[in-house]
Amino acid sequence: MGKYIDIVKASGETFAAYLAEPEQGSGPGLVLLQEIFGVNDYMRETAELYAREGYVVLVPDLFWRSEQRVELGYDDDGVARGLQLRDALDNDTAIDDIADTVRTLRAFDNQAGGVGIVGYCMGGLLSYLSAVRLDIDCAVSYYGVGVHEHLDEAKNLQVPTAFHLAELDAFCPEPARTAIRAAFTDNDLVQIYDYDGVDHAFGTTGRDVFDPVAADLAYARTLAVLRNTIGPRYDLNAIWDNHVYHEFVTRDVPATMATMIDEPYVNHIPTLTGGVGQKDLSRFYAYHFVPTNPSDLKSITLSRTVGANRIVEEQLLCFTHDREMDWLLPGIPPTGKYVEIPLVAIVTIEGDKLCNEHIYWDQAGVLVQIGLLEPTGLPVAGIEQARKLVDKTLPSNELMAKWSTSEGKPIS
């Protein structure tokens, strides 16, 4: 858990900031800038999340001159009070406090590397203003309110910066978003991301407008800016390879679980198998995954794409169905049939540990190969899926009865 520390200004005045530190002790610096609701549970939880990603995080209490360490809820009273506090806050004064926070962070013994800023709502504006006025290394603005009113300073932006903009955001409507896009058209350091169908504060857990899909995508993009600019840089390939090694080679469940965060989850999409949390996932691996994998099972990596916090791997999974496979063919007695299936794993990594896995394959293709699904007249294929995956010269469109009818026709 984090703690509050005092930031000391040149005047001798002090204000609080929430500090969250990485387990490994040191890392790049990150300043998180609050919404109008103060340094509340959401901001502290977000600080802890970034600490797990390897950052030394400070969240300054920007409302301290009006009310120290204010924490507001998302009800009408919280919104009303937050707007009052925001109206009382002078942007230039807030930037001065942020500069003191950055200075304090850079002086920490465990702050190694650069310093970035991520801000939300009110903090989204202040993160942008920090990027154009302060000595920082990168910035990310989530649905910043009022950014379009300060685009005269856009020419001063010389560090990597990302803007997350919500389609339904009444506080940053389309004319404002258009102005922001236009201001940075020629700046290669700026990335602007639009999120369709979501509202202001779509990334804030606990709010009705929270959208987990958009929030997760924005978070991955934010990490990409931070990782590429200030680090830390983890070897995601090695982390994933180590996990797979213990899953399939040593078949050591405790060692497998040690590669994952405290609350991981695995979801095999076609069969809804896996688990959430160390307890259930350990049970799943120990009794329903590792011992049910055939002795000849092997996975062949065909491609791997590595992002800021994700790996997408395309595999060919090969095995003889010599035992009941709870995770892949639950309830189906062994058929002795040989199976080859294309499989895609989408793996999220938090810091240096696996967070979750989404595993996809075509279950119909498996059922065809073990003889439980007759493919005649159905648009499904068996082992042909695997064979065409590795040999592109094999014919296409053989399941399309109408394919021959288009031969020789003009292409308009």
Place of tokens 């009070």: 81
The DSSP-derived string for 45-85 is: HHHHHHHHTT-EEEEE-TTTTTSTT-B--SSHHHHHHHHHH
Query: Rounded to a whole number, what is the distance in angstroms from the first to the last CA of the chain?
Result: 63
Catalytic annotation, pick one of 169, 199, 211, 352: 169
Specify whether 169 is catalytic. yes
Q: What are phi and psi of 178, to 5 degrees?
A: -65, -40
Catalytic residue among 100, 121, 148, 199: 121
Catalytic residue among 200, 243, 246, 268: 200
Q: What is the DSSP code string of 300-356?
A: EEEEEEE-SSEEEEEEEEEEE--S--TTTSTTPPP---EEEEEEEEEEEEETTEEEE
Q: How many CA atoms does the CB half-sphere of 4 hold within 13 Å?
A: 12
Our separate counts of H helices and E strands in the chain read 11, 14
**Is residue 121 among the annotated active site residues?**
yes
Residue 235 and residue 295 in contact, taking contact as beta carbons nearer than 8 Å: no
Interhelix angle for 91-106 vs 122-133, to 10°? 70
Q: Judge residue 128's burial from the number of C-beta atoms within 10 Å of its C-beta, 0-12 exposed, 13-18 middle, 19 or more buried.
A: buried
Structure tokens at 316: 């060919």
Is the backbone peptide bond immediately before 333 cis, with ω within 30 degrees of 0? Answer: no
49 burial level (CB within 10 Å; 0-12, 13-18, 19+)? middle
135 is catalytic: no
Catalytic positions, written as ranges: 121, 169, 200
